[in-house]
Amino acid sequence: MARKLMLGQLRVQQVYHRDGRVSYTIVQPGGVVHQPANGYLMKFEGQGTARTYAYYLADHLRWLENEALALEKVQFHDLERCMGTVGARVSMPFGAPWRIDKRP
């Protein structure tokens, strides 16, 4: 099995259920489920967008970690800055792109 590059300590984990369903969650170091993220992702379980939302959410949580922002303290302007770093047009300074390995 090939190993994938991980930025930060968070990763997306597929969860295979006995009834054949697949869901996604975000796991912290040591295999501990990131509970706030899991609660959000449960709303999309069984939908075609669940995997995409999990990867975008993990990326956003990594950005918060990079910016030293606590999840509980994030405000809308922080989200705007995050979107600016991945290529969205925002009318404010947003800093340097934090992921130089990928294009927006």
Name which residue leads in pLDDT, 103 or 64: 64
Reported as a single tens digit per residue, the pLDDT across 29-80 is: 888 999 999 999 998 887 888 899 999 889 888 888 888 888 888 888 888 7
Reported as a single tens digit per residue, the pLDDT across 66-101 is: 888 888 888 888 887 777 776 666 665 555 555 555
SS (H, E, C) the chain: CCCCCCCCCCEEEEEECCCCCEEEEEECHHHCECHHHHHHHHHHCCCCCHHHHHHHHHHHHHHHHHCCCCHHHCCHHHHHHHHHHCCCCCCCCCCCCCCCCCCC
pTM of the model: 0.71
**pLDDT bucket at 104, cuts 50 / 70 / 90:** very low
